[in-house]
Amino acid sequence: MQNAIMWLEDFHFDGLRLDAIHEIIDRGARHLLKEMSQKVDEMEEKTSRRFVLIAESDLNDTKVVNSYEKGDLDWKGSG
């Protein structure tokens, strides 16, 4: 997580591409991808900059792109 945020804060990248997210297994209380998305949202508010997160998944699962309010990105990973 810290490394991903570093690229946005320290190196002034405008976005990140996350490959093969369907292979990320995270059994934590809050999924890594949801946490990253929320941190990026916080950075946008703090810096008044716009960031882009692109996630590639072979599953074509809509929970990757749906809003938090729908409860998406709460899955526990594959496998």
Q: Which residues are catalytic?
A: 19, 56
Q: Which two tokens stand for residue 63?
A: 């929970």
Per the CB < 8 A criterion, the answer to whether 52 and 43 are in contact is: no
Q: Which two tokens stand for residue 22?
A: 């369907």
Per the listing, tokens 């960031």 go with 51
